[in-house]
Amino acid sequence: MKNKLIEKLTKKEALIGVIGLGYVGLPLVLRFAEVGLRVLGIDVDPKKIESLNEGKSYIEHISSERIEQAIRSGFRATSDFSEVSKADALLLCVPTPLSKHREPDLSFVINTVDAMQSFLRQGQVVCLESTTYPGTTEEELLPRMEQGGLKVGNDIFLVYSPEREDPGNPDFETRTIPKVLGGHTPNCLEVGMSLYRHAIDQLVPLSSTKAAEMTKLLENIHRAVNIGLVNELKIVADKMDIDIFEVIDAAATKPFGFTPYYPGPGLGGHCIPIDPFYLTWKAREYGLHTRFIELSGEVNRAMPEYVVDKLVEGLNERAQALKGSRILVLGIAYKKNVDDMRESPAVEIMELIQGKGGIVAYSDPHVPVFPSMREHSFDLTSVPLSDESLAEFDAVVLTTDHDHFDYELIAQHAKLIIDSRGKFRKPLEQLIKA
């Protein structure tokens, strides 16, 4: 069975099924289609299905032309899980958020596997791409896949290969980002290598699915801890009247032993604010306390409050209260030059301002209308920046430093600027660095 599946993958005769057509799944769809493989997309969101089948993209940095090209290559999207049986490879790209108690929420993964379980057959490979804690593939996917009598490693194959997408980064694409993967058995790994070999320039095979799961967490924990460090140093430097951004830039001139990380208003995106706590949760099973991870999490989660405190301080210096003041938040995507709103700290800052009686608005060229979100709701549209519109607000809070913003215009016409990104380096009378 293994050799037959590898042959289909090698000859590009296999049908690739991608389940979950968001920021991770859709780039994979396009990449497999580009190299000549037939692709089937599956998602529970009917709006996504309709949009894709019409050749329209719903992600800013992915063009509709690429969707149209994939359709010409045979791609189609559906919400019908019975079509799982037609696919030779199934890539699971579904969310893995945290619960309200900051514990792993695997409901999207488990519900997806349960929905496809009765349609699994011999000669398929299933790969989980969602970030999760070490052991998830073995503990949650393996027993469900074998429930119908299939034997993983002989009849069907199981792989874990974590996504490494960086939306909006022009220097990397799906093809050029090395791909880590681990199989449940050596046969599984061999099939997984055959699956991704066409689409990815460099594959990094590991000894197990656990090792691959841990690799993804290490990557994100490394960033979370270092960002927590510079966020804490930013607070210390501010008390000492030192510009932390100047210090980081100077330290970055050292050609060895230092990697620059920059502070901000908090952590955003699906990975960095969430993934470290998957390991924290799992470590408790072994009686371990992950102190570095939890401490960095405390620092990073406190940053939105810090930014709002600096706003209150700036208004107080002008004999104004936050209550009743009009505040414009600049940039609500979680990172610059994208439309991705996942876990954006700007949204929490907006809620904190509103909760303290401020009248909040936002400007973001990448997010023209505030989107529907599971835990946040604002009936707002983006305010176009002009000298007139800036003059209407008592303060602006820079939370995401998009390149599209006219920073000279902001400096000239904003009454008060709270800069959480270190974008304004020249001294300005109305500038407060947060």
Alpha-carbon torsion (237, 238, 242, 246), positive or negative: positive
Domain for residue 261, yes or no? yes
Question: Could you say which of 272, 299, 326 is where a domain stops?
Answer: 299
- Nearest-angstrom CA–CA distance, 274 and 132: 10
Tens of pLDDT along 179-209?
999 999 999 999 999 999 999 999 999 999 9
Pairing between strand 395-398 and 431-433? Answer: unpaired
Together in a domain, 307 and 295: no
Measured CA distances, 175 to 10, 29, 31, 282, 388 (Å): 17, 12, 7, 32, 45
Residue ranges of the alpha helices (H) in 267-414? 276-284, 291-301, 303-317, 345-355, 387-391, 407-413
**Ordered DSSP codes for 303-337:** HHHHHHHHHHHHHHHTT--STT-EEEEE--SSSTT
- Nearest-angstrom CA–CA distance, 397 and 432: 10
Contacts of residue 327, Cβ cutoff 8 Å, sequence gap at least 6: 311, 353, 358, 359, 360, 361, 393, 394, 395, 396, 397
Predicted confidence (pLDDT) at residue 166 exceeds the cutoff of 90: no
User: Residue 425 sits in which domain range?
Assistant: 302-433
| DSSP-assigned beta bridge partners for residue 179 | 203
Together in a domain, 292 and 394: no
User: What does the mean pLDDT of the chain come to?
Assistant: 94
| pLDDT (0 to 100) of residue 46 | 95
| pLDDT (0 to 100) of residue 216 | 96
Together in a domain, 39 and 166: yes
Together in a domain, 175 and 228: no
Tens of pLDDT along 356-411?
999 999 999 999 999 987 777 899 999 999 999 999 999 999 999 999 999 999 99
Tokens for 426, please give them.
């020249």
Together in a domain, 56 and 185: yes
Together in a domain, 338 and 359: yes
**DSSP-assigned letter for residue 55:** T
Together in a domain, 53 and 141: yes
**DSSP-assigned letter for residue 338:** -
Together in a domain, 66 and 198: yes
| pLDDT (0 to 100) of residue 327 | 98
Together in a domain, 236 and 272: yes
Together in a domain, 48 and 186: yes
Predicted confidence (pLDDT) at residue 238 exceeds the cutoff of 80: yes
With bands split at pLDDT 50, 70 and 90, how would you rate the model's confidence at 298?
Answer: very high
Tokens for 371, please give them.
């989107």
The CATH number covering residue 134 comes to 3.40.50.720
More confident of the two residues 433 and 76: 76
Tens of pLDDT along 251-274?
999 999 999 999 999 988 877 888
Number of domains into which the chain is organized? 3
- Nearest-angstrom CA–CA distance, 92 and 117: 13
- Nearest-angstrom CA–CA distance, 214 and 162: 10
Tens of pLDDT along 49-74?
999 999 999 999 899 999 999 999 99
- Nearest-angstrom CA–CA distance, 92 and 113: 9
Q: Cβ distance 353 to 380 under 8 Å?
A: no
Of the candidates 10, 382, 63, 18, the one whose C-alpha atom is nearest the C-alpha of residue 191 is 10
pTM equals 0.91
- Nearest-angstrom CA–CA distance, 134 and 178: 20
Question: Could you say which of 158, 174, 207 is where a domain stops?
Answer: 207
Together in a domain, 356 and 388: yes
Domain for residue 366, yes or no? yes
**DSSP-assigned letter for residue 360:** E
Contacts of residue 267, Cβ cutoff 8 Å, sequence gap at least 6: 224, 227, 273, 300, 301, 303, 343, 345
Residue 282: how many other CB atoms lie within 10 Å = 20
Stretch 339-344: mean pLDDT: 91
Question: Could you say which of 299, 325, 357 is where a domain stops?
Answer: 299
| pLDDT (0 to 100) of residue 352 | 97
Q: Which residues are catalytic?
A: 271
Give the angle 207-20-210 at the CA atoms, nearest 5°: 15
The CATH number covering residue 239 comes to 1.10.1040.10
Together in a domain, 163 and 260: no
